[in-house]
Structure formats: C-alpha cells, structure tokens
Structure 1
C-alpha cells in the first residue's frame, strides 16, 4: 500500500510544480514545468553519501546541496528574473525533503 509520506513527497515533486507553472506562468507553463522538474537534479548530491539512499535519513543539512547555506543561495535566486524559476524549484524540492524529515 502506498504511504501518505510517499504521496506527499512525490506530489511536491510533480503536481505542485505543475500547479505553480500553470497558475503563475500560464503563457510558458511547459518551459517552466520542465525547469522545475530539472531542479530535481539537485539530488545528484545523494551520490556522495554512503549508503546513497537511506529512507530514515533526513536530507536537509546532510547532503551538500541540501544545506542551509545552499538554501540561502536558492533564496537569492528568487530576486533575479533569470534565476527565479530555478530558485522556486530548488526551494520547493527542499520543502518536499523537509516534509519527509518531519513525517
């Protein structure tokens, strides 16, 4: 049976970005949705961990691109039009991972 944690996590990775793209970027929603999905590549930093995946490990402040310092950079991305969508995607990803930590 699918767990609530699984549904919430993957909704934040696929459905919430789609909603953001459709609602806030209507004229170019496909491009924005693709960019939001591509920000999931931030999880490549999981390859540096041993083991690579641990269902009981909180990603926040464990993996290099999931640290509070990195999140500070992602917030700065929001202030510039060219990086805003990437910043939104990265912060949304951090929120999804944070929700995993508290669930």
Structure 2
C-alpha cells in the first residue's frame, strides 16, 4: 500500500475526529462514531472487480459514490437525528474526491 493510500485512510479517521472535537466536544465519542459511519458507503467497493484498486477513483465509479447518492447524503444533514451521519457521508465523499484529484495530478 502506497503513501497516498495510507494518508487517504488516515484522513478518513482523522478528519471526522477533528470535526467531532471542534464542534461536538462535549459528546466527542458519539459524534466521532456517527461521523465514522460514513465509511459504510465503501461497501459498494465489493461490487467492483478488483474490490480494491489503488489507482481507481471511486467517485462516479461505485453506486454509493454517485451524484444521486450524494444528494441523499446532503438531505440526511437536514433532520437533526441523521445530521451527523449525513455529515460523515459527505466528509467521506469529499475525502474520496480529494484522493481522485491527487491521483490525477500524480500521473
């Protein structure tokens, strides 16, 4: 696993932790856990062959990483009960999009 891939995975843990600490410090563990649930959308990688391809951009490639799905994630940020989960999903998508840009610029 390359440096970019390791950094990408670390950011998927660190960014939600930082957000939880900055905005929901009094309930950090719960907030971080709900933000981390954004990782659940990577289940769609199981539909790909190969399941893990370090040079593949997941945005637009996997069903849960497409514009209609992202619109649903944005909608989840509106109700209070699903807000943190929706934010976690959008953070996950944003980090994946950044990874796609890094991949394009590395080539």
TM-score computed with the length of structure 2 as normaliser: 0.87
Taking the TM superposition and a 5 Å limit, the aligned residue runs for 1:31-46 are 31-46=30-45
Q: Which has the higher helix share?
A: 2
Q: 2: CA distance between counterparts of 1:81 and 1:11?
A: 28
Structure 1: runs of 5 or more not aligned: none
Instruction: State the Cα distance separating 1:38 from its structure 2 match.
Output: 2.1
Runs of 4+ in 1 over 6 A off after TM superposition: none
Q: Residue 35 of structure 2 contacts residue 85 of structure 2 at CA under 8 Å; is this kept in 1?
A: yes
RMSD, matched Cα: 1.6
Structure 2: runs of 5 or more not aligned: 103-107
Question: Residues 15-53 of structure 1: CA distance to partner in whole angstroms, max 9, x if unpaired?
Answer: 111111111111111011111122212101100111111
| Residue in structure 2 matched with residue 80 of structure 1 by the alignment | 79
TM-score computed with the length of structure 1 as normaliser: 0.90
